[in-house]
Structure 1
Amino acid sequence: MKTLSITALLSLLLMTMSSAGAADITDMHGRKVQVSARVQKVLCASPPVTYLLYTIDPALVAGLNLPVDDKLRRFIRPETANKPVVGAFGGGQGRNFNSEVLLAVKPDLIVAWPPRSAAPKIEQMLAKFNIPLATISLDTMDEYPTAYEFLGEALGRQERCRVLAEYFRTELRKLKAFSAGIPANKRVSVYFAEERDGLLTVSADSVHSEAVALAGGRNVHKGASLNRRGKDRVSLEQVLAYDPEVIIAQDPTFFNAVYKDSRWARIRAVRNHRVYLAPNAPFNWLDQPPSFLRLLGAKWLAHTLYPSSFKTNITAETRHFFNLFWGSRLSEQDVRTMLAL
């Protein structure tokens, strides 16, 4: 399903008010949707979209896809953390969809980021509930500004979404300019190590790897993934053949064990002590779930890969980002702990 351009999308977002107090909007996949003129409760179909909605206005969040763990609870409002768990039905985590809870929540609008082939199936599933469905696209970070602007219009939060969209565009522009200045033969090679054994990795063309390219790195696991998750099991022999300069660990168990494991000792990143644990508060900044936090994750990764040339105060950047998006005022010590500095 083709995503609309920013100009076309914004022109289509002009709302026509009906006598019944509804508004006609066109979503990011060109679908015509009729929604309440005053949307007050929104249910999102997967965690990345729920977190995106929270950054716009926590009061709009009608339900959750997953129970809130202790890490996330620290960063969100208590009233949001205690919302009912409806489950998820748009791909990703939390597919424990509960139709009874959905009916109890009674959202004015459902927002989904479906796989490109799944939107009709989701629409068909929700038809019996008579709740309007708007779809957005977050397949790349370039789409986040447009998603914010679309939701700003649909939800009546134009100014807040304008601020967030402009921040995204500005910071993406900076990252792209930095990355473009690094010759191909000078890009730091990176291996993503997932799970406790470090032998699940992400393909270079996956949404989970986008931050590597933005940070000026080169994902060693090239080519299309063997499955739709964009993640593949590999052998330790394959990692040895890749011999990455840097390993980004996603699992603390693997990170804490890798320097003690003689099987990994021959890999360049381990020999040179360039294995790093990706920040994971309130959840992973680079990968699971693929959320708006990937923008900050790309900044952290650029700083990690090129500490002498990527000029930024990552502590100050993190404090500003969490204040802007989460409404959380972190101390410098909070950030240093978060970044393991």
Structure 2
Amino acid sequence: MDLSRTENGKRILTSILTICILSVFCVCSYASPTENTNQSGGFSITDLSNREISLPGPVSRITSLNPTPTYMAWRLAPDKMTSIDMVSKALTYMLSPEDQKKVLALPVTGVYFKGLNNEQIISLKPDVVVTLTKDPNIDKEQDTFNIPVAAVDKDTLDSFADSYRFMGKLLGNEKEGDELGDYWDDLIKKVTSQVSTIPESKKLKVYYAGGSPDSTTGSKTIISSVIRDAGGIVYPDAVTLTADPSDETIKVPVEDVLKWNPDVIITHSSNLSSQIKTDSAWKDTSAVKNNRVYSIPKYAIPDGITAAIGLVWAADTLYPEQTQLDYKKEIRDFYQNFLQVSDLTDEQISQEN
């Protein structure tokens, strides 16, 4: 055997392999960045209004202009919050006493639908500001703040899950954002799989009264979405309203509601329930005659971050005999997962708004 030729062959083969490995390494090292990141550490992300948001780097400070993103941020990245909005401040009763103190120690900002102090928002120096898709001034706010403004969606139950996932990516906690989104989806499916067996002819007509007996919500709002997914026929689906369907406060003629004759009336407060029950104008409605006027529960408001557990309450309230839902267990599990409260009492669970 010619050893010199064998050794030369080995050297050549080794050289070829080395060149191939280096080539692969170079290609991998200089591959173009993904569509969401760049080589300087910045990234882009598409929000729930389908707007592409560009950020120079990881988010370490966030300001929110609505309770939904405020509490999502608190759950996913509390140390990154620069403030709490004025409406969220009134909802801190949902948190543990320890967490209430932490949240209430933050500066309080306005909300997009009641007015903002632009200078205050800028002074907080957030990396990103988060609002809702229904905020009509998103682009204007972004120009005014000179800060990226992103949006989450709360108009339907399904949109909350995607909003949690989005906030997880935005705040660098994708794992928990995905887990909460999946939990939300699973809870909705648990309810809708049961009420879907109710025949259309057996479904109840439900009127939701907001701040007054003649105030309801549009068909494209979270309240209507909850009642619809709970198996109810919502008033704005059954009649023609001229107002924006995404409007959460729509004035309607009481005589039209009385003519529709709802089977169930759900109100925003116990005071409003009492008002309707004792008002002679409503006495002939099926809801009043059958004692089916309810006020929403304080700890399961069918809006915002408690909308999914509000769905459980609504389905259990509308169809207690047709559904097999353990509302007390579900609300305790929900609070443990979404609000990190492990000691919700029976008194809190039964408390009306």
| TM-score bin, normalised by smaller chain | 0.7 to 0.9
Residues 153, 185 of structure 1: alpha-carbon distance in 2 compared, 3 angstrom cutoff: same
Shift of 1:325: 0.7
Q: Which residue of 2 aligns with 1:166?
A: 182
Shift of 1:128: 4.3
2:116 is aligned with what amino acid? F
Runs of 4+ in 1 over 6 A off after TM superposition: none
- 1: distance between equivalents of 2:318 and 2:264? 8
Shift of 1:216: 0.5
TM-score, length basis structure 1: 0.83
SS of the residue corresponding to residue 226 of structure 1 reads coil
Select the residue among 97, 107, 114 that pairs with 1:84.
107
Choose 1 or 2 for highest CA Rg: 2
Query: Any unmatched runs of 5+ in structure 2?
Result: 1-32
- 2: distance between equivalents of 1:13 and 1:29? 21
- 2: distance between equivalents of 1:138 and 1:329? 25
Q: Which residue of 2 aligns with 1:244?
A: 262
Shift of 1:185: 0.7
Shift of 1:17: 3.6
Higher helix share: 2
Query: Please, which moves more after superposition, 153-162 or 222-231?
Result: 222-231
- 2: distance between equivalents of 1:73 and 1:332? 13
* 1:1-341 equivalent positions in 2, closer than 5 A: 15-19=36-40, 21-66=41-86, 69=89, 72-73=92-93, 75=95, 76-89=99-112, 92=113, 95-115=114-134, 118=136, 121-196=137-212, 198-221=213-236, 222-223=238-239, 225-228=241-244, 229-281=247-299, 285-286=301-302, 290-338=303-351
Aligned residues: 315
Shift of 1:163: 1.3
Contact kept? 1:203, 1:224, Cα under 8 Å: no
SS of the residue corresponding to residue 292 of structure 1 reads helix
Aligned CA-pair RMSD: 2.6
Contact kept? 2:67, 2:88, Cα under 8 Å: no
- 2: distance between equivalents of 1:205 and 1:68? 23
Query: Any unmatched runs of 5+ in structure 1?
Result: 1-11
Identity, % of aligned positions: 25
Contact kept? 2:154, 2:222, Cα under 8 Å: no
- 2: distance between equivalents of 1:240 and 1:139? 27
Query: Please, which moves more after superposition, 161-170 or 43-52?
Result: 43-52
